[in-house]
Structure 1
Amino acid sequence: MPSNPATGGGSLTEGGLKRPIFALAWPIIVTELLQVAYNLADTVWLGRLSTDAVAAISLAFPLIFLLISVGGGFTVAGSTLVAQYTGADSEASAGTVAGQTLGFITLIAVVVGVLGFFATDAMLSVLPSSPATAAQVVPMAADYMRIFFLGLPALFGFFVFSALMRGYGNTRAPMAVMFVSVLVNVVIDPVFIFGFESNPLFGMLGVPGVETALFAATGFAGWGIEGAAFATVLSRLVATIIGVYIIFYTSAGPDVSPSDFRPRPKVVRKIVRIGVPSAVEQSATALGFITLTAMVVTFVPEVLAAYGLGNRLVSLVFLPALGLGRATNTIVGQNLGAAKPERAERAVWMAVKAGSSVMILIGVVAYVFAEPIVGVFIGTGTDAAARTVAFGADYVRVRAFEFGFIGLLQVVLGAYRGAGNTKTALAFSLFALWLGRIPVVYYLSFVRDFGETGIWIGMAVGQILGAVAAGLWFTRGTWKAAVIDHPQATKE
Structure 2
Amino acid sequence: MPGPSAPSDSSRSLTSGPLVRPTLRLAWPLVVVQLLQVVYNLVDTIWLGAYSPDAVGALSLAFPMVFLLISVGGGFTAAGSILVAQHTGADSEAGASKAAGQTIWFVSVIAVGIGILGFLLAKPLLSLLPADPGTAARVVPLAGEYMQTYFLGVPFVFGFFVFTSLLRGYGDTRTPMYVMLLTAGLNVALDPLFIFGYAGVPELGVQGAALATVLSRVVAAAVGFYVLFYTARGPAVGAADLRPDFEVVRDIVRLGVPSAIEQSTSSLAMVVLTAMIAAFPPAVVTAYGIGNRLSSLVFLPALGLGQATNTMVGQNLGANEPGRAEQAVHVAGGLVVGSMAVVAALAFCFPEAAVAPFLTADAPGVAATLAHASEYVRVMSLMFVFMGLLQVILGAFRGAGDTRTSMVFSLVTLWVVRVPATYVLAFALGWGSTGLWWAVALGDIVGCLAAGLWFTRGTWKEHVVASRDAEPAD
Q: Does TM, normalized by the shorter one, top 0.5?
A: yes
Q: Who is 2:185 aligned against?
A: 183
Correspondence 1:222-371 to 2 at 5 A: 222-371=203-352
The Cα of 1:352 is off from its aligned counterpart by 0.7
Deviations 1:24-76 (A, max 9, x none): 00000000000000000000000011100000010000000000001100011
The Cα of 1:484 is off from its aligned counterpart by 2.3
1:417 equivalenced with 2:398 (yes/no): yes
Deviations 1:129-178 (A, max 9, x none): 01001100111000010010011001000000000000000000000000
The Cα of 1:488 is off from its aligned counterpart by 6.0
The Cα of 1:223 is off from its aligned counterpart by 1.0
Change (3 A) 1:287 1:490: farther
Correspondence 1:201-220 to 2 at 5 A: 214=199, 218=200, 220=201
Deviations 1:103-151 (A, max 9, x none): 0000000001001111112111111101001100111000010010011
CA contact (8 A) 2:30 2:177 kept: yes
CA distance in 1, matches of 2:430, 2:162: 44
TM-score by length of 2: 0.96
Deviations 1:72-109 (A, max 9, x none): 00011000000000000000110000000000000000
Q: Secondary structure at the match of 1:308?
A: helix
Amino acid at match of 1:478: T
- Stretches of structure 2 lacking an aligned partner (at least 5 in a row): none
CA distance in 2, matches of 1:6, 1:113: 37
CA distance in 2, matches of 1:155, 1:53: 22
Q: Who is 2:71 aligned against?
A: 69
CA distance in 1, matches of 2:25, 2:329: 15
CA distance in 2, matches of 1:377, 1:294: 23
The Cα of 1:487 is off from its aligned counterpart by 6.6
The Cα of 1:3 is off from its aligned counterpart by 7.3
228-237 vs 360-369, which moves further: 360-369
Q: Who is 1:408 aligned against?
A: 389
Amino acid at match of 1:281: E
1:394 equivalenced with 2:375 (yes/no): yes
Change (3 A) 1:260 1:490: farther
Amino acid at match of 2:439: G
CA distance in 2, matches of 1:225, 1:186: 15
CA contact (8 A) 1:46 1:54 kept: yes
CA distance in 2, matches of 1:261, 1:360: 45
Q: Who is 1:128 aligned against?
A: 130
CA distance in 1, matches of 2:125, 2:262: 20
TM-score by length of 1: 0.93
The Cα of 1:5 is off from its aligned counterpart by 6.0
Q: Find 2:58's aligned residue among 56, 59, 63.
A: 56
Deviations 1:346-400 (A, max 9, x none): 0001111110111011001111121122110101123311111111010000000
Amino acid at match of 1:330: T
Q: Who is 1:201 aligned against?
A: none
Q: Find 1:114's aligned residue among 113, 116, 122.
A: 116
CA contact (8 A) 2:90 2:471 kept: no
Amino acid at match of 2:392: V
CA contact (8 A) 2:91 2:473 kept: no
The Cα of 1:490 is off from its aligned counterpart by 13
Q: Who is 1:173 aligned against?
A: 175
- Stretches of structure 1 lacking an aligned partner (at least 5 in a row): 197-213
368-377 vs 144-153, which moves further: 368-377
Q: Who is 2:21 aligned against?
A: 19
Q: Secondary structure at the match of 1:12?
A: helix
Q: Who is 1:85 aligned against?
A: 87
The Cα of 1:2 is off from its aligned counterpart by 7.3
Q: Who is 1:41 aligned against?
A: 43
The Cα of 1:489 is off from its aligned counterpart by 10
Correspondence 1:368-387 to 2 at 5 A: 368-387=349-368
CA contact (8 A) 2:7 2:88 kept: no
1:163 equivalenced with 2:145 (yes/no): no
CA contact (8 A) 1:356 1:408 kept: yes
Across the aligned residues of Structure 1 and Structure 2, the Cα RMSD in angstroms comes to 1.6
Amino acid at match of 1:283: S
Q: Find 2:151's aligned residue among 149, 167, 180.
A: 149
Q: Find 1:444's aligned residue among 416, 421, 425.
A: 425
CA contact (8 A) 1:86 1:94 kept: yes
The Cα of 1:4 is off from its aligned counterpart by 4.0
CA contact (8 A) 2:76 2:256 kept: yes
CA contact (8 A) 2:129 2:275 kept: yes
CA contact (8 A) 1:155 1:233 kept: yes
Q: Who is 1:205 aligned against?
A: none
1:483 equivalenced with 2:461 (yes/no): no
Number of aligned residue pairs? 468
CA distance in 2, matches of 1:101, 1:489: 22
Amino acid at match of 1:194: F
CA distance in 1, matches of 2:9, 2:87: 18
Change (3 A) 1:56 1:5: farther
